[in-house]
Structure 1
Amino acid sequence: MTEPAPDAESNPESDTESPADTRAGSVSDTATLGPEERVIPTWTEPLARSASAPVGGPLGVHAAIGRHWFWTPLRVALMIAIIGLAVSWFGKAACVQQFYNEDAKQLELDWRSNRPFTAMCYSDIIPLYSAEQLDKGGFPYKTSWFDDEGKPTQHERWMEYPVLTGLFQWVNAKLTDGWLRIAADGWLPTGLAVTVFFDISAFWLALAWLVTIWAVTRTARRRPWDAALIAASPLVLVHAFTNFDTLATACAATALLAWARKRPVLAGVLLGIGGAAKLYPLFLLGALLVLCLRAGRMRAFYSTAGAALLTWAVVNLPIALLYPRGWWEFFYRNSLRGADPDSLYNVVSQFTGWQGFDGPLAFDQTPTWLNAVSAVLFLACCAGIAFVALHAPVRPRVAQLGFLIVAAFLVTNKVWSPQYSLWLVPLAILAVPRWRILLGWMALDALVWAPRMMFYLGDDKKGLPIDWFLSFVVLRDLAVVGLCALIIYEIYHPTRDLVRLGGEDDPAGGFLDGAPDRYVLKVNRRLVEEPVA
């Protein structure tokens, strides 16, 4: 690989603006964009055009745009999101209903008749309150307990979530204690501690999703109405409060916004914080690496990657030093997990009778071969994505590669918890803003929840057989792979990319937006240096 000339990279903080930066970088609010600068969904999206019929049809050619004193695209999207999040909360609320147990003479959660599955309201947040010993008041990673106590499978446990997610749960448990103390004096409504814990957690998770929408709207620039699809996503209706994943989506989305605004250190800090909550935001560094390599903007990448890794270390190091065994639990438990029901490995196993790469495993035995195969497949996909990024005729956009990497991880990983699909939603909106296609995928992905719950109910309780559930899993995976194929097609045919069709290069590109290529992978698969325009 030929080294660039000494002046090939300028300081990231002082790079000259590209034409795209001059055009859109100074716009502080998409409400100020005129009709010639903003994409109008009712003109370009058949789905939006049809949906506008009850309110008068598509926007008129002579309509005034961006002059309403309040209803900007962002505020409309946030309003839709608040309605969607409220619906999502009501969907989970059936699992925090209470009843008075006459035998035990106390209030209890009403999980009789398998309510979490029959009402499809299951949320990890509810059982984790006691399962992670949060109701006991101990500090995560320091406090341990025994599962299956008194049984041959008895084993010691610690908090099994990454540091920030574990601390998030602990803080909410402390807020729950404070709420109940104040409620005991009659100042606040009260209920079971786990109900209060769920509601407090849901409030912060909803706020994180609103931050995600805000960041995507600001990043999309000329396409602010695309954020409405995030707000109304069927996946949010089902999974906003299934686990704690909106914390990570907020970090990843704001990191992309910071990168788009040419703030590489801030972007790295946000990625590091997100990586301390869920690992997936750190995968976006892979997209930035190959794109910065192609554009000769490696100094910006080093700033972001260094800040991300330093932030992740600063968050994790105190816990790792003080409570090393508790800190390691997340990694240890993940290494022990077998193929989850939602994984393709389990699909193949169930449909063929195959016993897996490791065969039958004893309790607490690590699936070594499964771990290795899933890691190798993911790395192979990343290598293929890097090839596409360096070989394509036009440099791909950041969101396109980000979606491909995260999707590759989910498809090849041995675990695809249903709420993980939320990771893809903001990236999908930025990568391939085709409303009908995205809505179809999100609806199908959300529908996996129904056969999943019915499968967990069990055949003896009139639940669905596993074949129904696995069939939906396969359809979900095929839909995600189809989106990846569409993105790769648009990468190689940039004139079909709706974002570039509007005259932009890469709204989330930051230093990459409008930058000339420096290194391109030619047909002979060698990296060669391109002349600087």
Structure 2
Amino acid sequence: MRSADARDRPSRNDSLTAQLSTVIGGPVGDHALIGRVRFWTPMRVLMAFAVVFLALGWFSKAGCIQQTTGSDGGLTLDWNNGRQYVAMCYSDTVPLYGAERLNEGAFPYKKQWTESSPDGGTQTRYMEYPVLSGLYQYVSMRIAKSWDISPLPGALQVVVYFNVVAFGLAMAWLVTVWASALLAGRRVWDAALVACSPLVIVHAFTNFDALATAFAATGLLAWARRKPVLAGLLLGLGGAAKLYPLLLLGPIIVLCLRADPMQRTPRNHLGLRMRDIDSWSTFVAWVRETPYRVEFLSARPLGAATVTASAALATWVAVNLPIAVLYPNGWQEFFRLNTTRHADPDSIYNVISSFTGWPGFDGAIGYAQQPAILNAVSLLAFVAACALIGYIGLTAPQRPRLAQLCFLVIAAFLLTNKVWSPQYSLWLVPIAVLALPHRRILLAWMTVDALVWVPRMFYYLGLDRKGVPEQWFTGTVALRDLAVVALCAVIVRQIYRPDEDLVRRDYVDDPVGGIVDRMSDPLLPWLPEPLRPRVAPPRG
């Protein structure tokens, strides 16, 4: 809003920001006119912050795209003596260019190759990423190859490829910051932590996860703007890049279950029912009424959630179906690898094994063997966590905010999953800022999470090259997990004590809530007694 009398003023109500503001003259004055600046609006300032931190992120990876002369006299990447770990510049995008056979100009999911496995055998491999991420790599490769034959200044093809990928990921993160700022409502400056997060410097270009965060953030923005079909479309696209945006459908459904279904009663445009169609003309009339039918359904909370979930599923299927039909083996590779993959070094299961010597749920198994018990335990643990989050959402004295439940679901997925790749922490950044706008707490967690990268790189370097022992790395992972658990505990406390929630001050309900924002919050007599909302005790 250009004129924003109700806009949050962090330089006056947040001690950390007040101290930082002394660099530019101190906190805003009591009689300052807020929302009157013509050019340096909050959104443009946030974009400038994001560009600076993305530039720092690129420079943090620049050491891994430096060129040197190889033994044959040709140019090659300077990854000698573990440079990618010593300089802490490692990015998956660089080795994947050759590992996924993109350097051959091959189309992902169609190209197959045979490689040796650590157990001495061989296996047939395909592109290992979800469809949208794989196609993004393919398009970036085609641009890099076109650059290579153009008269423009050249470099190694993999270097050009990395820069093309980084440019697209930077645009995706700028979209994430833009959507987060709009979702923050009157607390627009909370999005500064999305733009200036230490995790952006470390992981913005580590992998392709910024694509998914952009779709997830814009999907929530569409939901907040009460556009359930568009929200489902964007979340479905995000699920085709990384699966986590589809997890956000769960909190949406829970909050719509809790909302009053009789709060809004729109006009009934449903003149025809499916069973009334007995001719071509009535079928045409039924099709013409479809937009009104969707409007009628989406005007009610549970109907809107159904429309969003259906649109997300349809979009995900529409993106995946052509690849699944044409190249079924390549399409299944992502799911096959996630099934046969053992506990990731960053997972809680590996942390326990590192400190206790525990052999894991499945004991000593081969590289290609499926850890069936670990898969079942991680799945059941996540389902149990989701059930608990659903219970919290239904029984809290006041309906929780959507961002709060979204953060709990994503954090539960990461904590219980057998894989927590370091760049996955980017998933939490925009949701955490919307769910818990406490700058000191968030900055402390982001810093701890970003610093996990240091012992991780030196652990991969190896003790024979003056790396660090495994426990130095897994110890920092344990600290990171404890920090995320602490954030979850604070959010749950604020759900049950909404008067402590900074977002809900000044008569604000839920800026991300969309159709459930400012709706009545009934006791839900149709639910069993244990699942009904608790009546908040009177205060004062």
TM-score norm. by structure 1 comes to 0.91
Q: Match for residue 485 of structure 1?
A: 489
Aligned-partner residue type, residue 47 of structure 2: L
Query: Residues 203-256 of structure 1: CA distance to partner in whole angstroms, max 9, x if unpaired?
Result: 000000000000011111101111111111000010000000000000000001
> Retained in 1: the 8 A contact 2:219–2:232?
yes
Q: Does 1:189 align with 2:149?
A: no
Q: Does 1:404 align with 2:368?
A: no
Q: Match for residue 86 of structure 1?
A: 55
> Retained in 2: the 8 A contact 1:74–1:227?
no
Aligned counterparts, 1:486-501, within 5 A: 486-501=490-505
DSSP 3-state at the match of 1:218: helix
Aligned counterparts, 1:165-184, within 5 A: 165-182=133-150
CA distance in 2 between partners of 1:209 and 1:377 (Å): 31
DSSP 3-state at the match of 1:195: helix
Once the 2 structures are TM-superposed, how far is the Cα of residue 293 of structure 1 from its aligned partner?
0.4
> Retained in 2: the 8 A contact 1:209–1:250?
yes
Q: Which runs of 5+ in 1 are unaligned?
A: 1-29
Aligned counterparts, 1:6-405, within 5 A: 30=1, 32-35=2-5, 37-101=6-70, 103-148=71-116, 152-182=120-150, 187-295=151-259, 296=261, 297-405=301-409
CA distance in 2 between partners of 1:470 and 1:45 (Å): 34
Q: Match for residue 510 of structure 2?
A: 506
DSSP 3-state at the match of 1:373: helix
Aligned-partner residue type, residue 525 of structure 1: P
Aligned-partner residue type, residue 127 of structure 2: M
> Retained in 2: the 8 A contact 1:217–1:227?
yes
> Retained in 1: the 8 A contact 2:458–2:468?
yes
CA distance in 1 between partners of 2:424 and 2:79 (Å): 25
DSSP 3-state at the match of 1:488: helix
Q: Match for residue 273 of structure 2?
A: none
Aligned residue pairs, count: 494
CA distance in 2 between partners of 1:330 and 1:151 (Å): 21
Once the 2 structures are TM-superposed, how far is the Cα of residue 33 of structure 1 from its aligned partner?
3.3
Aligned-partner residue type, residue 405 of structure 1: V
Once the 2 structures are TM-superposed, how far is the Cα of residue 395 of structure 1 from its aligned partner?
0.3
Aligned-partner residue type, residue 233 of structure 2: V
Structural RMSD (CA): 1.6
CA distance in 1 between partners of 2:531 and 2:419 (Å): 36
DSSP 3-state at the match of 1:498: coil
Q: Does 1:433 align with 2:444?
A: no
CA distance in 2 between partners of 1:403 and 1:151 (Å): 39
> Retained in 2: the 8 A contact 1:145–1:156?
yes
CA distance in 2 between partners of 1:204 and 1:124 (Å): 15
Aligned-partner residue type, residue 80 of structure 1: F
Once the 2 structures are TM-superposed, how far is the Cα of residue 503 of structure 1 from its aligned partner?
2.0
Aligned-partner residue type, residue 293 of structure 1: L
Once the 2 structures are TM-superposed, how far is the Cα of residue 353 of structure 1 from its aligned partner?
0.9
Q: Match for residue 457 of structure 1?
A: 461
Q: Which runs of 4+ in 1 moved over 3 A?
A: 149-152, 518-524, 526-530
Once the 2 structures are TM-superposed, how far is the Cα of residue 431 of structure 1 from its aligned partner?
0.3
Aligned-partner residue type, residue 67 of structure 1: R
Candidates 473, 476, 487, aligned match of 1:469: 473
Once the 2 structures are TM-superposed, how far is the Cα of residue 366 of structure 1 from its aligned partner?
0.2
Aligned-partner residue type, residue 198 of structure 1: F
CA distance in 2 between partners of 1:409 and 1:188 (Å): 45
Going from structure 1 to structure 2, the CA distance change for 1:132 and 1:529 (only over 3 Å counts) comes to: same
CA distance in 2 between partners of 1:334 and 1:151 (Å): 18
Once the 2 structures are TM-superposed, how far is the Cα of residue 443 of structure 1 from its aligned partner?
0.4
DSSP 3-state at the match of 2:186: coil
Query: Residues 105-143 of structure 1: CA distance to partner in whole angstroms, max 9, x if unpaired?
Result: 210000012110000000000000000000011111111
Once the 2 structures are TM-superposed, how far is the Cα of residue 524 of structure 1 from its aligned partner?
3.9
Query: Residues 307-362 of structure 1: CA distance to partner in whole angstroms, max 9, x if unpaired?
Result: 00000000000000111110000000011111111011001111111100000011
> Retained in 2: the 8 A contact 1:140–1:158?
yes
CA distance in 2 between partners of 1:281 and 1:523 (Å): 30
> Retained in 1: the 8 A contact 2:398–2:533?
no
Aligned-partner residue type, residue 216 of structure 2: A
CA distance in 1 between partners of 2:385 and 2:521 (Å): 23
Query: Residues 11-46 of structure 1: CA distance to partner in whole angstroms, max 9, x if unpaired?
Result: xxxxxxxxxxxxxxxxxxx3x1323x1001111211
CA distance in 2 between partners of 1:65 and 1:528 (Å): 39
Aligned-partner residue type, residue 175 of structure 2: V
Query: Residues 89-115 of structure 1: CA distance to partner in whole angstroms, max 9, x if unpaired?
Result: 0110100000112x3121000001211
Query: Residues 153-180 of structure 1: CA distance to partner in whole angstroms, max 9, x if unpaired?
Result: 2110000000000000001000111011
CA distance in 2 between partners of 1:75 and 1:175 (Å): 29
Q: Match for residue 18 of structure 1?
A: none
CA distance in 2 between partners of 1:116 and 1:396 (Å): 44
Aligned-partner residue type, residue 172 of structure 1: S
CA distance in 2 between partners of 1:263 and 1:151 (Å): 51
Q: Match for residue 425 of structure 2?
A: 421
Aligned-partner residue type, residue 530 of structure 2: R
Q: Match for residue 268 of structure 2?
A: none
> Retained in 2: the 8 A contact 1:288–1:301?
yes
DSSP 3-state at the match of 2:419: coil
Once the 2 structures are TM-superposed, how far is the Cα of residue 267 of structure 1 from its aligned partner?
0.2
CA distance in 2 between partners of 1:419 and 1:167 (Å): 20
Going from structure 1 to structure 2, the CA distance change for 1:397 and 1:234 (only over 3 Å counts) comes to: same
Going from structure 1 to structure 2, the CA distance change for 1:151 and 1:361 (only over 3 Å counts) comes to: closer
CA distance in 2 between partners of 1:83 and 1:471 (Å): 31
Worse-matched range after superposition: 66-75 or 157-166: 66-75
DSSP 3-state at the match of 1:362: coil
Identical residues among aligned pairs (%): 56
Once the 2 structures are TM-superposed, how far is the Cα of residue 527 of structure 1 from its aligned partner?
4.7
> Retained in 2: the 8 A contact 1:43–1:49?
yes
CA distance in 1 between partners of 2:193 and 2:17 (Å): 10
Once the 2 structures are TM-superposed, how far is the Cα of residue 64 of structure 1 from its aligned partner?
1.7
